Amino acid sequence: MKTYSLKIDPLTNEEYFEVCVKGQQLLNDPSLNKGSAFTEDERISLGLAGLLRPRLSDIETQRERNYEMYERKHDDIEKYIYLQSLLNRNETLFYSVLCANLTQMLPIVYTPTVGKACLMLSHITRDFRGIYISPENIGSIDKIFQEVSLPEVSLIVVTDGERILGLGDLGSDGMGIPVGKINLYVAAGGLHPACCLPVCLDVGTNNERLINDPLYLGHCGKRLEGKEYDEFIERFVLGVKRNFPHALLQWEDFAKHKAFKLLERYRDRILSFNDDIQGTGSVSLAALISAMKIKKQRFNDQRFVVVGMGQAGTGIASNIRRMLIEEGASEEEAQSKLFAFDVPGLLVDDTPGLTEPQKLYVQKRSNLATWKLESPGTITLMDVVRNAKPTVLIGVTATNGLFNAEVLGQMAKNDERPIIFALSNPTSKSECTAEEVAIATKGKGLVATGSPFTPFMYEGKEFVTSQCNNMFIFPGVGLGALVSKASKITTKMFLQASKALSEFVTDEQRAKNMLLPDLTNIRKVSAHVAKAVAIEARESGLGRILSDEELARVIEKAQWEPHYYPYKPKEGG
């Protein structure tokens, strides 16, 4: 049941909410609750008289009060719980607090703290948010979606919880990820929270810890697989198409073998993308473009090693390959410059068990005949770094310390200004730290990480680490696709998003070896990325025919700032 709708007064042109609920029910609705900010007229007309203390507070005063309480929490999980409780009490105020303190609170509402929260979500859950679809209720999916109280759903972030960050199968405790991603869509991209729906496909878990935990709140059966799983996903997607035909669907934290299949199966059937594959690949490409500007070199001047060929690694490798070819390399030349490393070691043409996406990045065994190996028959990461002499090393392995002093030292020998991306998160899973790169390369390495690292001093100079945060890309891509009314999201849209993001890095920032812009400008970055995506949608015949200036105006108007609308009761309600 829809609890409110946005209206415009025909006389005054004032925007207001026409509200269908009153009294305590209104206070219990986080999308409508204004707490002490309800006006005297609203308190009388909406049945709130006597339910609130008499003094009125504006949103700035409320924000100050809640930040004071936030600061009293000295543990990151307690801060996470507090902010989620605020979100489930008063959405507008939550986003006002978050936007005003985004740099400080980002590591709390998302990585790394959200990973810790997901590990114990059944134990710390106070309220339920979003929609849980399970084998027991999939048959009622239309009724479930029709009961969503949001006035219009434009964005759905969905996970099945099988590969949460670098933490593995967390079942429905993985719901913290869609909720967190929507927090970022609103704070960074400016989407209105009233159009964003987090969804967990609770298809079971194979995690024995959760199955044996009496406090676990999810479906305790083994995970659906094979045909049953495929049919479940199909029923979910068809339900989305029937009930939210214009919504963008973002696939989030699915297992590798399922993520690629789902992306390919549905990318042309529904407006959708996979942030782990395409978002990570896009933000990494933007950082690499910035690094090339600093080095005053081209992609074809480099040799690349990507370690960890799952969703993120494959997405990154795909973008590197695309840039090499765009610069004029042939398919074979591009393949020769890109070395892919995974659990079996270096991927070569006779490596067994390769996925279809991985097969694009194999090296020919015959080309490695002259390599000197530490142990014949096995090609280690150190073998690759020594023999291929890469100038770029990228890790997405969730293996802490994989890029040790020996590996980093060899990278420093390979190139005067090596590029090192340690992209795994949370922080405890990072392949190395930015400080370790600085020590190994005498401060000349160009670094990006997946998790936030605090600035550090090396030889009297402060180093600021660029975080390859997907937040630089996915909110802008989503916003651009929605405002342009794109029918699908293409690879070229992500390529244009990468270029637009790199354009936002200033000369002054590049002089400090920053590869990505400052997060304090994230709203402007998202708008710039959204415009690039919308222009590409238009040029490819997939989006609205608006001029660049018109698209910029539409995007600016679409970016919501947290504030309270006036309320009026629904006539006859």
pLDDT, tens digit, for every residue of 108-155? 999 889 999 999 999 999 999 999 999 999 999 999 999 998 989 999
Is 488 an active-site residue? no
166 part of a folded domain: yes
* 37 and 85 assigned to the same domain: no
Is 110 an active-site residue? yes
B/e letters for 171-191, b = 16+ CB within 10 Å, e = fewer, are: bbbbbbbbbbbbbbbbbbbbb
* 337 and 482 assigned to the same domain: no
Listed residues 469, 491, 514: the one ending a domain: 469
B/e letters for 298-334, b = 16+ CB within 10 Å, e = fewer, are: ebbebbbbbbbbbbbbbbbbbbbbbbbeeeebeeeeb
Catalytic residue among 34, 79, 116, 181: 181
Average pLDDT along the chain: 94
Percent of the chain with pLDDT over 70: 99
Question: For residue 306, which phi and psi values (nearest 5 degrees)?
Answer: -110, 120
Sheet-wide strand order for 567-569: 4-8, 15-19, 567-569
* 113 and 217 assigned to the same domain: yes
Tell me which amino acid residue 329 is: A
pLDDT in tens, 31-85: 999 999 999 999 999 999 999 999 999 999 999 999 999 999 999 999 999 999 9
Task: Locate all alpha helices (DSSP H) within 49-175, ordered by sequence.
Answer: 59-71, 76-87, 91-100, 102-109, 113-119, 121-124, 141-146
Whole-model pTM: value is 0.93
* 404 and 260 assigned to the same domain: no
Catalytic residue among 110, 216, 266, 361: 110
pLDDT in tens, 525-557: 999 999 999 999 999 999 999 999 999 999 999
Listed residues 210, 237, 270: the one ending a domain: 270
pLDDT band, very low/low/confident/very high, at 428 (cuts 50, 70, 90):
confident
* 310 and 440 assigned to the same domain: yes
Percent of the chain with pLDDT over 90: 85
567 part of a folded domain: no
* 353 and 253 assigned to the same domain: no
Among 455, 501, 475, 106, which residue's Cα sits nearest to residue 287?
A: 501
187 part of a folded domain: yes
* 65 and 47 assigned to the same domain: no
527 part of a folded domain: yes
* 73 and 1 assigned to the same domain: no
Listed residues 270, 302, 321: the one ending a domain: 270
Question: Within a 10 A sphere around the Cβ of 562, how many other Cβ atoms?
Answer: 21
428 part of a folded domain: yes
* 306 and 165 assigned to the same domain: no
Report the CATH number that the domain containing residue 15 is assigned in CATH.
1.20.1370.30
565 part of a folded domain: no
As given in the structure block, the two tokens for residue 460 are 């009297």
* 149 and 291 assigned to the same domain: no
507 part of a folded domain: yes
Report the CATH number that the domain containing residue 403 is assigned in CATH.
3.40.50.720
Domain count, the chain: 4
pLDDT of residue 572: 64
* 436, pLDDT greater than 70: yes
Domain coverage including residue 530: 472-558
User: CA 100 to CA 62: how far, in whole Å?
Assistant: 12
Coil, helix or strand at residue 470: helix
pLDDT in tens, 500-518: 999 999 999 998 899 999 8
Q: How many Cα neighbours within 13 Å face the side chain of 244?
A: 28
User: CA 374 to CA 100: how far, in whole Å?
Assistant: 53
Question: Within a 10 A sphere around the Cβ of 289, how many other Cβ atoms?
Answer: 19
* 132 and 249 assigned to the same domain: yes
207 part of a folded domain: yes
* 258 and 191 assigned to the same domain: yes
pLDDT band, very low/low/confident/very high, at 165 (cuts 50, 70, 90):
confident
Report the CATH number that the domain containing residue 518 is assigned in CATH.
3.40.50.10380
pLDDT in tens, 272-288: 999 999 999 999 999 99
